[in-house]
Chains A and B, each alone.
Chain A
């Protein structure tokens, strides 16, 4: 499934730079990145460590502001938003999945999934209902009361994915989502991402494994703070091996 031209733009970034001062020297983590991502794309961002792909994800995720350049997320200019405004944008438009899951310890799966809804201001009942639906969507309806320590790595990452989609975001950003998982579980998680993508979700994920990038519909390669390659491809279908839990 390739991005049809009539689909609305989710990401509209022009000449983004991010410059850090390191011991008096300038370090350009982003050096003029322009990028357009339309709704319903499934994008893999590849690059060696230090290539600037994490900085790019942080800027696209509104966790960090670009030094210069213009960034429109779902049509809204967020280049100059305050910290508080960025928090609200993240809450309404973006879902995050991290390499190390980043679930709150000693807190049930359901409560973890509820977290974005707490800050969105939903009442208790609606939070419960929507969080349960999101957990069911990732196949963990029966694990709602479990704490992260009682779940396997794959299950934890699926709870994190439920948390990322619970607020119906315009964009899901995943930073090395399979980095801490074995290959079998990685494929399960990627199969889940593909399913969500087929249902219409826009997903951007960072990986350094070509094997994992194969599942995307488009692959970006970042080097020295620039996008050096941008290729659309026919995604390979992620098929979980036999005996694994259907995602």
Chain B
């Protein structure tokens, strides 16, 4: 008799007590199902956060100018323009980890058509901005460098702004809106991006060439960029490097010596995203840990039933030993029974976990993410639970003395 032959023995023994076997596996089923669904929910939350940050722009950094300081009042970053067009050029030229950089000037302005008006954030920038903020033009096109140079009166609208001004579903390309009484030709409409985590509508926006912004919406061309510089790093891993390079360049150009405060600041949005990710990861870990505890409880259930089974079947063990079962064969039989219970529970648990994860994902509008490695791990763990918690009852069975076992009432 070899190990393979113990499997049909174990199955037969388990099928003799169908209800009990089923109830015993239930603990493991719930344990494995909760591991899988909890991890899937955690992954879903993570994917959602990733999606949100990807929506803000790829590998995004924001360079802000310094703060005003007067009579003890700190104005906050951006209140004092310190960034110049030369700074922008230097960042583009001298920071190898920077892929693109775009000036970002912003004001609230009222856009007027013959039929409607709508107040929104108007952004003056260069064509790089579309790439840096991951904006796609759905209808029409974006403006280019030549348009910026020519100070062309062109405007690209967000979908919300377009809908408010021209009505939903209308293609506004080629029509005119007036900003501060200056007519701008609608060149394109951006693809919808949805909302930020704080509820800001990314689609409620209007983008014009930065030169037109300065001359026609603000007072005129200036030495300083009255706003920020949006930068995309060459890769997600390069964002910290890009930040350091920009800081070095700007300190040098602004003659900031060590010990004095920077007159600018660089915000690394990837880092913020990572911090959020870590939060979710911790939560996923916590949920998974609770699930693992329930799996252990399932294992204790198996041990309990196996102990009952060994006691109940003492005579059977005695008979088997009398006709020639060796101690290790008795051990193997009961161990395989425990293992069969736990892995059957594992199988059912994987199925149930996937269903539960789907339900939770759709309920909370998470993207459904099934981690196959986690499913495999939870299944393997159910097997380990079977062996660990089956070992004690199986050892107890194998150590019975045949004479006493045969006499057991």
Chain A residues engaging chain B, CB cutoff 8 angstroms: 58, 61, 63-64, 83-84, 87-88, 90-92, 96, 98, 102-107, 115-116, 118-121, 163, 167
Contacts and interface: CB of A to CB of B under 8 A. Distances in A.
B1 interface: yes
A115 B318 contact: no
A14 B5 CA distance: 39
B255 to A, nearest CB: 88
B322 to A, nearest CB: 5
Interface string B328-351: 110000000000000000000000
Q: Which 5 A-B pairs have the closest CB atoms?
A: A91-B324, A119-B324, A116-B323, A87-B326, A84-B326
Nearest to B328: A84
Indicate the member of B2, B320, B325, B402 with the most A CB atoms within 10 Å: B402
B322 A96 contact: yes
B403 A87 contact: no
A119 B402 contact: no
A84 B323 contact: no
Contacts of A64: 401, 403
B403 A63 contact: yes
B327 A84 contact: yes
B87 interface: no
B229 to A, nearest CB: 79
B9 to A, nearest CB: 8
B361 to A, nearest CB: 45
B320 to A, nearest CB: 7
Contacts of A102: 315, 318-319, 322, 406
Given A63-B402, A63-B403, A118-B1, A104 B316 contact: yes
A167 B324 CA distance: 11
Contacts of B329: 119
19 contacts: A58-B403, A63-B403, A84-B327, A87-B321, A87-B325, A88-B324, A90-B322, A90-B324, A91-B323, A102-B315, A102-B318, A102-B322, A103-B319, A116-B323, A116-B324, A119-B329, A120-B1, A163-B323, A167-B324
A116 to B, nearest CB: 4
Contacts of B319: 102-104, 115
Indicate the member of A63, A87, A105 with the most B CB atoms within 10 Å: A87
A119 B16 contact: no
A81 to B, nearest CB: 12
Nearest to B15: A106
Contacts of A115: 319-320, 323
Interface string B1-20: 11001000100100010000
B406 A106 contact: no
From DSSP, what is the main secondary structure of chain B's interface residues? Answer: helix
Contact of A87 (B2, B5, B318, B324): B324
Contact of B326 (A88, A107, A116, A163): A88
Indicate the member of A61, A64, A91, A163 with the most B CB atoms within 10 Å: A91
A177 B402 CA distance: 18
A98 B322 CA distance: 11
Given A63-B403, A104-B316, A106-B16, A121 B1 contact: yes
Nearest to A166: B323
Contacts of B12: 107
A116 B315 CA distance: 16
Contacts of A107: 12
A58 B319 CA distance: 13
Q: How large is the interface on B (under 10, 10 to 19, 20 to 34, 35 or more residues)?
A: 20 to 34
Indicate the member of B319, B324, B402, B403 with the most A CB atoms within 10 Å: B324
Given A102-B315, A102-B318, A102-B319, A119 B403 contact: no
Given A58-B403, A106-B16, A119 B315 contact: no
A167 B327 CA distance: 20
Contacts of A106: 16
B323 A96 contact: yes
Contacts of A121: 1-2
A26 to B, nearest CB: 19
Contacts of A96: 322-323
Contacts of B402: 63
Contacts of A118: 1, 5, 9
B395 to A, nearest CB: 13
Contacts of B406: 63, 98, 102
A53 to B, nearest CB: 14
Contacts of A88: 324, 326
A119 B326 contact: yes
A61 B319 CA distance: 13
A90 B1 CA distance: 15
A105 B320 CA distance: 13
Contact of A119 (B1, B316, B318): B1
Given A98-B406, A118-B1, A121-B1, A63 B316 contact: no
Nearest to A64: B403
Contacts of B16: 106
Nearest to A112: B319
A200 B341 CA distance: 46
Interface string B369-409: 00000000000000000000000000000000111001000
Contacts of B322: 61, 63, 90, 96, 102
A120 B2 CA distance: 10
A38 B266 CA distance: 101
Contacts of A103: 319
B68 to A, nearest CB: 89
Contacts of B326: 83-84, 87-88, 119
Given A90-B322, A96-B323, 8 more contacts: A83-B327, A102-B315, A115-B323, A119-B323, A119-B324, A119-B326, A119-B329, A120-B324
A167 B1 CA distance: 14
A104 B318 CA distance: 10
A64 B404 CA distance: 10
